[in-house]
A = this chain, B = another copy of it.
């Protein structure tokens, strides 16, 4: 059983507007046990709309559309559906009464052109709109049930929940519930993860597991079905357990890929504090930590030591160390971590120094070379990253911050060298 979406509006394909109704409908339909197979955005052109309707009603059990129900000339959904279904338009008196009532409630006279909003294809019925003027349409045609909803997100959502869901149940569409879970990993490449989990990502596996990568975070997307939510969750639990067993410490969290959240949770848990010293990340790590509410007790602050003098003056990195090994070095990274930990009197000191580009690279120290320093308990350690000299500055900064936070996370877990 599959659904198909038609998201109608020229603004959606001109680049002027981002469609967000589609994602919302995909999520809600999946939860109703009716996964979406195709979601097509198209403009306010009658031929294209008729073609899209004709195709959809020939191949999908449910077709849900958004937009094109208003009173203006470019609102073509009524016409297009009628043409694709091979029927005419008729006036629905109940719809007309609703539209008139709405204008009356707002103390406004109904413009004549709004009358066309009461026209629906023969054989269809209206979906009342509890909020706006445009009623929706509900129709069985081809092999499909068709639900036309307005494009205004608030109206679409209200009508989906209040009017469409009961009708889906009544005609026997849906039933089995689908639940999605996302588990995020950081610290391995996509193909390495895949190589370690061929059984999990095998095609046709139940529950289904997909892998995606974004900003070096690898996400397992698990999807399970059940007669209800508890059943679906139970169906996916062994898969979730297998992922945790296999990737343990690499897992940053579920739903979120925010390593900073994981670090802060660990710090709270262990009653420890952290301070950060940032050169090439320039405040990004501190920002990611302070984005999170309640960070105060575990993060007194940090130092952005972009200039070498700041490293010596504020972090007590010896000037001759910088002279001899360079600011971008394991030694300076460690000294920065020790210095910032001492300066703020924290349990953990974390530091980053690197070449973010786009200039400043050398054969010896290319763009993308980053050193992380970590001082905690009675030892100090470092890690060297090669993030790629072809990467743009913001990516190197963002990845460096993520790796640094992950370095602190692994340190707190006792997993750093």
Interface positions, chain A 389-406, Cβ under 8 Å from B, are: 389-395, 397
Q: Is A284 an interface residue (CB 8 A)?
A: yes
Contact across chains for A310 and B300 when beta carbons are under 8 A apart: yes
Contact across chains for B74 and A210 when beta carbons are under 8 A apart: yes
On chain B, the residues within 8 Å of A393 by CB distance are: 291, 293
Interface positions, chain A 1-29, Cβ under 8 Å from B, are: 9-20, 22-29
Contact across chains for A389 and B105 when beta carbons are under 8 A apart: yes
Given the complex of chains A and B, what is the CA–CA distance between A388 and B104 in angstroms? 10
Given the complex of chains A and B, what is the CA–CA distance between A202 and B314 in angstroms? 55
Q: Is A362 an interface residue (CB 8 A)?
A: no
Contact across chains for B289 and A221 when beta carbons are under 8 A apart: no
A–B complex contacts, Cβ < 8 Å, 26 sampled: A11-B221, A12-B23, A15-B28, A15-B180, A16-B182, A22-B41, A71-B190, A73-B202, A106-B386, A108-B189, A111-B192, A113-B195, A152-B214, A278-B283, A281-B287, A282-B286, A282-B287, A282-B289, A282-B290, A282-B291, A282-B295, A284-B290, A293-B393, A299-B306, A301-B304, A314-B343
The residues of A with any CB-CB pair to B shorter than 8 Å are 9-20, 22-30, 35-45, 48, 52, 55, 70-74, 105-108, 111, 113-114, 130-131, 152, 154, 178, 180, 182, 189-192, 194-195, 201-203, 208, 210-214, 221, 223, 276, 278, 280-287, 289-291, 293-296, 299-307, 309-310, 313-314, 343-344, 357-359, 386, 388-395, 397
